[in-house]
Structure 1
């Protein structure tokens, strides 16, 4: 496969016009040529926090559902997808993990990279749209039953019972612990950070706010060198807040996610999230009491919003949509325009609309003529 006259956007080397040759699953050669370009070529988008889309719910899906969900994500430029659970009992958690593990093992080429457990080891005071009946303390016994090689992320609250005790068990599996759904003090988050937790889930949603006498979770996100997941839909975070985080922490700190629900890509209506009723109106998803309940965001729209709101460079955009997440997960051979790297790429037009998605060297989505 040859990509001719594309604006290569690499998160490390920057932007330049080039011809790119792909052989098999990998980038074989990059020839810089200068001059005008036809399309923008970026590393494929990475969504590490998604509960579903097009009617598929992570907690109830089967193999066919996951394949449909993956295809939908690819139409929006995603080449790495991490299905994300909600707080549930251990059998439900294991069911999802086993399904995803089998799915990945049966497919030599897939965008699915693992599972993210969002809960149940969180603070019920900051449950958001999580089912309170499923929230509980963390125990080594339970974690040994639900952890496996397919689990790559766990969202936990550092103030809950058993948090520090179970960290070694989690880290033994090389799983990232992300701090979220928490009412922790700054000192508790700092202790968690110093214990190896370097990430925050959908910052600053599901967390206490900044106060000048106790800077809490939001203050920790600004002060500590942690990676910050962000849902940039204009609902979970105001454009001005996104701009402020970018200005203070820089593009190196931010990981864009969708936190998408099964309603993503569908019409308004009533949906389910871990046994809770969710109403979708326009782009907003809420519980019956008005609590925000995930989003209907796509990574394509998230990239567009972030670029527009922050006026960031395309190089920065490649960091927040792909490179930072892959680096955080310890995936070293994707997310760059570099010889020998896996060719997970997205081609965009000048409006940053997806024209084509390339997964491991194969075109898996191409916009119809007149679309993009």
Structure 2
């Protein structure tokens, strides 16, 4: 079946063009021109953009991905309402619970649930307790290769793992991840600049929630930040709720990385829920005015959604829409090695969003199938 979206402005090649968009099967057939079609929809006045991909999200609507399949099924069906067409469920917690959750992610990757499950992000257990953030210190471990293999096997279904490279034994962990096609991400760390540089040689290609759970940058003791900001091979996550990172620092990161930023939510189970008391990594989280904190005051993930992340950067910070959209789509797709996602071009999977002029989501398509309509 060939389906035509007509009247919209399509984001392709870094610019918007006013053309018809043809979809065939689950993919994009062509942009502009003419072709026979079986059905069409008029989206005049709207923007058609690639679906968003979140590589760091713990949960929402009262559930956490460490709970496995029930959370995966519930959230995959509701994420399209936030513009999220693909994601990495982020798993943290006790070893055995994470192991089971990783197995459930492998299963969910083969299922049609709504938003695509693109692999697990395992945040822990090889993290530095000095920079644990909102994670539970009781679930952290000293890096051990046998423990890693027990947790993730040969990396099947695991897209990314966050590791603190300064811990004894971390080099073996990072090299194993890189050898098995798992993105090694530096985070929850007190690494020096020297160790951060070494970790890139071992296989680190990513930084988890840039600026957060890292040592602050000092001109005589730079730490991780100047290394990951200056090395083009490292992609950096950024939580753009304007709480985790202030606008001036976001501007700095964007300037340094020249587009090598992937926007994430780091959202937890309170997302989409009212203020109240919740749980993250076995710890009580207080959500007040939409801000999630531990009782001790540490930020505890966020209640951000990807569509709001877009509006924060464009409407509140004044950044050009054309420069922001790839940070939520193309950059994370490329990070995952998925050139068939995150862009609008012939042959790519038709994971699309239709936005109005206020950047409010009108509809979401996954594989050319409409899965949300406002």
* TM-score normalised by length of structure 1: 0.93
Q: 1:231 to 1:117 in 2, by over 3 A?
A: same
Please give the per-residue CA displacement for 1:182-208, whole angstroms capped at 9, x wherever unaligned: 001111111111222121100010000
The answer as to whether partners of 2:10 and 2:17 remain within 8 angstroms in 1 is yes
- TM superposition shift of 1:263: 0.4
Q: 1:274 aligns with which of 274, 281, 301?
A: 281
Specify every segment of 5 or more residues in structure 1 that has no aligned partner in the other structure, as ranges: 368-372
Q: 1:78 aligns with which of 76, 81, 84?
A: 84
Counterpart in 1 of 2:49?
42
The answer as to whether partners of 1:15 and 1:314 remain within 8 angstroms in 2 is no
Specify every segment of 5 or more residues in structure 2 that has no aligned partner in the other structure, as ranges: 35-42
Supply the distance in 2 between the matched residues of 1:253 and 1:247 (Cα, whole angstroms). 10
Query: What is the total number of aligned residue pairs between the two structures?
Result: 361
Q: Is the counterpart of residue 232 in structure 1 residue 252 in structure 2?
A: no
The answer as to whether partners of 2:11 and 2:344 remain within 8 angstroms in 1 is yes
The answer as to whether partners of 1:46 and 1:78 remain within 8 angstroms in 2 is yes
Q: What RMSD over aligned residues (CA atoms) do the two structures have, in Å?
A: 1.7
Structure ranking higher on relative contact order (CA contacts 8 Å, 6+ apart): 1
Q: 1:296 to 1:230 in 2, by over 3 A?
A: same
Supply the distance in 2 between the matched residues of 1:166 and 1:85 (Cα, whole angstroms). 18
Q: 2:271 aligns with which of 245, 248, 264?
A: 264
Q: 1:221 to 1:309 in 2, by over 3 A?
A: farther
Q: How does 1:164-203 map to 2 (within 5 A)?
A: 164-203=171-210
Supply the distance in 2 between the matched residues of 1:221 and 1:353 (Cα, whole angstroms). 33
The answer as to whether partners of 1:143 and 1:170 remain within 8 angstroms in 2 is no
Q: 2:98 aligns with which of 93, 96, 99?
A: 93
The answer as to whether partners of 1:16 and 1:32 remain within 8 angstroms in 2 is no
Q: Is the counterpart of residue 19 in structure 1 residue 20 in structure 2?
A: yes
- TM superposition shift of 1:129: 0.5
The answer as to whether partners of 1:242 and 1:310 remain within 8 angstroms in 2 is no
Q: 2:64 aligns with which of 57, 76, 80?
A: 57
Please give the per-residue CA displacement for 1:190-244, whole angstroms capped at 9, x wherever unaligned: 1111222121100010000110101112222322222110111111011221122
Counterpart in 1 of 2:7?
5
Supply the distance in 2 between the matched residues of 1:3 and 1:85 (Cα, whole angstroms). 37
Counterpart in 1 of 2:138?
133
Q: 1:286 aligns with which of 283, 293, 299?
A: 293
Please give the per-residue CA displacement for 1:23-56, whole angstroms capped at 9, x wherever unaligned: 11000111069xx952111110001100000011
* TM-score normalised by length of structure 2: 0.92
Supply the distance in 2 between the matched residues of 1:304 and 1:109 (Cα, whole angstroms). 23
Counterpart in 1 of 2:39?
none
Supply the distance in 2 between the matched residues of 1:193 and 1:15 (Cα, whole angstroms). 36
- TM superposition shift of 1:247: 2.6
The answer as to whether partners of 1:189 and 1:220 remain within 8 angstroms in 2 is yes
Q: 1:117 aligns with which of 122, 132, 138?
A: 122
2:138 match: secondary structure: helix
